[in-house]
Amino acid sequence: MALHLSILLIITGLTGVHNTVTTISKVSVKAGGSITIPCRYGSMYRENVKYLCQGYTFFNCNYVVLTNKPHYSGKVLISDDKSQRIFTVTIKDLKNADEYFWCSVKIIGTDDGSRFQLSLTNGLPDLYVDHQDISGFIGESITISCNYRRTDGEIKWCKLGSSCVTGLSGAIDGTSVTIDSRGLDVFHVSMSGLSTESIGWYFCVKGDLEMPVHVNVTEKPTTTTLATTISNTTGDKTKHSTSIDLKSLIITLSLLIVIVLVTSCVWFMLRKHKQNKPESSAITMAEADATYCNVKPKMKTSAKCEEEVLYSTVVFPSSDQRPCAETDVDVLYSSVVTIKDKRVKRAEAQDIDVSYFGSDRPKYLNGSVSVNHY
């Protein structure tokens, strides 16, 4: 009885307790690269915590990442698609020590899990695809190329949690599958008549190696939708072009206005300068036309005049001799100066006696003048 219990513990430690979690078995990956592994679980585990652990046996594996702690490890990412009942783990920067992992689900009692192995190579993997994600439209077809380096082993195309197609053709969940293995180191899988049932994780099989591929199927956009999209795009481009043209027109008009204003200012300044120049020349020439002469004062003997008025003579040249004909007004100036003659002292007549004699010549007697008349 104890022997049977030990054997049961060994088997459950290798394969998992309930065996309701399924995944691929062995994947070839280049060292330093990355890989995404799908893990399918039963509907009863939809709300349970999923996780990835590393180790050869299930009971001795170490937690790597959990769905309730998605950032537990920066090297591994985990996500849960509850509608498809599949959670995926993406392992980055693979090293030689990364070999055995477990897709696991936390349940009451003993957790459930399924093991997969990573086989690392220094060069190209022994089985690989160009892209792990491929999309198609409902009713149409897609083709997946599975490249390999091993020449031995059976070729298959399988869906995780469903059936496999071997040989040349078959069907999986209502989708037609054909396999063309005539190529060198590659076989091509074509899936036609795609539907929403075709969505899921598939994998290429060559011998004991498997390579997972995710297939997504969507509705193909109708012609009306495409035409509307093109029309909207064209309209947006037209609006954008109109906006650019309007901005260019505004900038051009602004520049023209500035140029006109600057030109007008320059023209006005030049015109004003030309008008001022002839006036200055006319004033200069008018000043040159004035002729001045020296005036000498003349002594007046009149005793009644205490101030002498002196006049100056101004000579005007004839009009035909004016050097400047542009001005109609010649301004001529003269000066009038009054000078007191301090040298002449007028004698005041005080008590003068006038006598008249037979001669007209007056006689002076003791300071008096007598004039005798006969």
pLDDT (0 to 100) of residue 236: 55
272 pLDDT above the threshold of 70: yes
Query: What region, left, alpha or beta, does residue 276 occupy, with left being phi > 0 and alpha being psi -120 to 50 degrees?
Result: alpha
- Tally of CB atoms within 10 A around 41: 25
Across residues 241-255, what is the average pLDDT? Answer: 77
Q: Which two tokens stand for residue 359?
A: 């001669």
17 pLDDT above the threshold of 70: no
Domain spanning 126-229, CATH class = mainly beta
334 pLDDT above the threshold of 70: no
Separation between Cα atoms, residue 141 and residue 147, nearest integer Å: 20
pLDDT (0 to 100) of residue 237: 52
| Better pLDDT: 285 or 74 | 74
Name 13's Cβ contacts closer than 8 Å, sequence gap at least 6. Answer: 57, 58, 59, 60
Q: What's phi and psi for 131, nearest 5 deg?
A: -140, 140
pLDDT tens digits, one per residue of 28-58:
999 989 999 999 999 999 999 999 999 999 9
- Tally of CB atoms within 10 A around 300: 14
Whole-number average pLDDT of the chain: 74
73 pLDDT above the threshold of 80: no
231 pLDDT above the threshold of 60: no
197 pLDDT above the threshold of 90: yes
May I ask the CATH architecture of the domain 14-124?
Sandwich (2.60)
CA distances from 30 to 34, 77, 95, 118 (A): 8, 19, 9, 10
**Residue with the two structure tokens 């897609």:** 142
Residue 241 gets which letter from DSSP? H
Q: CATH 2.60.40.10 in the chain, residues?
A: 14-124, 126-229
Model pTM above 0.85: no
pLDDT tens digits, one per residue of 211-223:
999 999 999 888 6
* Closest listed residue to residue 192, CA positions, set 168, 174, 214: 174
Under the banding of pLDDT at 50, 70 and 90, the label for residue 171 is very high
Q: Which two tokens stand for residue 163?
A: 């059936």
| Better pLDDT: 352 or 257 | 257
Separation between Cα atoms, residue 289 and residue 332, nearest integer Å: 8
